[in-house]
Chains A and B, each alone.
Chain A
């Protein structure tokens, strides 16, 4: 058992057995990590139906979809006007950065600006894209109602209390905010004139 051939054969067997053992151990990890991913019932497509006509003009309601908060804002003509005129201070005025901030129906500059199927009803995921807090609704322009939590030339929108991200009334993030992207737009469609199905 001392000659060279046997020795290298033995080494090969060590490495082969050890390598296979490592592969098997690695494969065993898969079901354990897999078990930590969302379970089937959690993943099961959950849809939320909502009647937007219950939202008064200028009102914001927060509803729940898949355990996540969702903003439904009824924008008056006045609020819709406040969306204009500050594109230069937005990170992504056109909502093109990532898939989650756009939808197929955003096919015109107009729709990219208002970010909603019907301009008056803005529906977006209410989690700040920085670390998931729910931003506070501060719709009136200027500092009159909000003090110095917003900039002097505030155009109305949302202010995240956690780390100070600012969003305009189309939920587009302002430059200088820690949040990287606009609030996400989830899939939704109008089942009737006023009933919207989210998800």
Chain B
């Protein structure tokens, strides 16, 4: 179809003024992709889909949402009431809001699987270090956007979650109080906080679009890694991205949307994992919920935070656990990329995935002495994993990698 379209006079007119044909050829119809990519390579396109869905649903929600903590006659607040109005009175408001709320969780799920793929197959290694680093920036901005967005419904979890996280910054020596004030805009979370979080929640996705553009550009310079983790140069090892991978990605999208739609329509709260029950209680600054936990996609880092008794060390550890992702390409020094040919790394990285899930579980549960120790051990392994990577090549006997595919 693309070939046919490119032969039209209209396209020729556009091409002379934009160079569209060269772009389409180099980026799509003649863009070489390894022929052995497995389904783990579907999550990039799914992440892009979720970004678009979040932006579109978000734009429509803003047509009704009101960012104000002013009290209303009903005894709640303007923001809380406007969300309830979207749910009850606005045509299809319930659908668009559930798409957005479930979409946030699905976005993170897809991105974490995308990152897990990178961990397992060594996609962050030379020459894709910068590609990985841009990806980590995307993750941080996503986490910021999610945090800002979570305040907007002005429920109990919104309020107390934001209280806890903004108080984290208070632990920074000297500047801490200043940073907290700049974030909160007052003595405690309140109307000014809600307004600035709304502004930033609108800004961050726009930043994401720009940086995702950089991510895709960087990918198209160094090209995709593959499950074998070897460099592919011969033409017979490659297939053009279009139509082969566009159709495979489309299949992935259809499969993914089936699950997404099921959750949106039949189980949008997802047992309190996607939308926490306490957030249907309007924010009350005089009463803390019995148990505060962030949404599941932030709980691993929350566990790292509370594994330390000193507030400052906890905050540093949490920041460090994210910052260390930037260093991953330089810590991992083995010449072999894929875990398929690295027996020790393979076990380590699978344990790392389990470890992050355990961290997430601990962060989501009410703190008990047992879970605290489990969380501390998991935190230790999280950092040990990264600390061991530089020394791994010294004793790991890698298997011979294949010459080609």
Candidates A37, A132, A163; contact of B306 at CB < 8 Å: A163
**A5: CB under 8 A from chain B?**
no
Residues on A with C-beta less than 8 A from B165 are 131
Q: A134-B287, A180-B311 are in contact. Are A162 and B292 (CB under 8 A)?
A: yes
Q: Is the CB of B286 within 8 A of A132?
A: no
A177 to B189, CA, bound (A): 24
Q: Is the CB of B164 within 8 A of A131?
A: yes
Q: Within residues 116 to 166 of chain A, which ones have a CB less than 8 A from any CB in chain B? A: 127, 130-134, 161-164
Q: A33-B182, A164-B367 are in contact. Are A133 and B288 (CB under 8 A)?
A: yes
Q: A36-B196, A39-B185 are in contact. Are A178 and B292 (CB under 8 A)?
A: no
A83 to B166, CA, bound (A): 32
Q: 0/1 per residue, A37-63, Cβ < 8 Å to B?
A: 111001000000000000000000010
Candidates B163, B285, B291; contact of A131 at CB < 8 Å: B163
Q: A131-B167, A132-B163 are in contact. Are A67 and B306 (CB under 8 A)?
A: no
Chain B: minimal CB distance from A39 (Å): 7
Q: A64-B285, A178-B306 are in contact. Are A39 and B311 (CB under 8 A)?
A: no
A177 to B311, CA, bound (A): 10
Residues on B with C-beta less than 8 A from A127 are 163, 167, 188
**A179: CB under 8 A from chain B?**
yes
Residues on A with C-beta less than 8 A from B168 are 131
Q: Within residues 10 to 37 of chain A, which ones have a CB less than 8 A from any CB in chain B? A: 33, 36-37
Q: Is the CB of B181 within 8 A of A37?
A: yes
**B2: CB under 8 A from chain A?**
no
Chain A CB within 10 Å — which of B160, B308, B311, B312 has the most? B311
Q: Within residues 9 to 48 of chain B, which ones have a CB less than 8 A from any CB in chain A? A: none
Chain A: minimal CB distance from B284 (Å): 10
**B403: CB under 8 A from chain A?**
no
A196 to B330, CA, bound (A): 60
- How many A residues, CB 8 Å from partner? 27
A76 to B306, CA, bound (A): 35
Q: 0/1 per residue, B157-182, Cβ < 8 Å to A?
A: 00010011111100000000000011
Q: Is the CB of B160 within 8 A of A133?
A: yes
- How many B residues, CB 8 Å from partner? 35
Residues on B with C-beta less than 8 A from A36 are 182-183, 185, 196
Residues on B with C-beta less than 8 A from A39 are 185, 192
A133 to B188, CA, bound (A): 11
**A86: CB under 8 A from chain B?**
no
A69 to B166, CA, bound (A): 16
Candidates B181, B286, B290, B314; contact of A38 at CB < 8 Å: B181
Q: Is the CB of B367 within 8 A of A67?
A: no
Q: Is the CB of B182 within 8 A of A37?
A: yes
**B236: CB under 8 A from chain A?**
no
Q: A37-B181, A131-B164 are in contact. Are A161 and B291 (CB under 8 A)?
A: yes
Residues on A with C-beta less than 8 A from B116 are none
Q: A38-B181, A132-B167, A133-B164 are in contact. Are A69 and B286 (CB under 8 A)?
A: yes
Q: Is the CB of B164 within 8 A of A162?
A: yes
Residues on A with C-beta less than 8 A from B190 are 67
**A96: CB under 8 A from chain B?**
no
A199 to B306, CA, bound (A): 32
Residues on A with C-beta less than 8 A from B312 are 180
**B127: CB under 8 A from chain A?**
no
Residues on A with C-beta less than 8 A from B184 are 38
Chain B CB within 10 Å — which of A66, A67, A69 has the most? A67
A64 to B284, CA, bound (A): 11
Q: A36-B182, A132-B163 are in contact. Are A163 and B367 (CB under 8 A)?
A: yes
**A187: CB under 8 A from chain B?**
no
Chain B CB within 10 Å — which of A36, A39, A131 has the most? A131
Q: Is the CB of A66 within 8 A of B188?
A: yes
Q: Is the CB of B188 within 8 A of A68?
A: yes
Residues on B with C-beta less than 8 A from A178 are 306, 308-311, 314
Q: What are 16 of the A-B contact pairs (CB < 8 Å)?
A: A36-B182, A67-B190, A68-B188, A69-B286, A127-B188, A130-B311, A133-B160, A161-B288, A161-B290, A161-B292, A162-B164, A164-B367, A177-B309, A178-B306, A178-B309, A178-B310
- Which residue numbers of A lie inside 8 Å of B, CB to CB? 33, 36-39, 42, 62, 64, 66-69, 127, 130-134, 161-164, 176-180
- Which residue numbers of B lie inside 8 Å of A, CB to CB? 160, 163-168, 181-190, 192, 196, 285-292, 306, 308-312, 314, 367
Q: A38-B187, A131-B164 are in contact. List 7 more A-B contacts (CB 8 A).
A: A64-B286, A69-B286, A130-B167, A133-B292, A161-B290, A161-B292, A178-B306
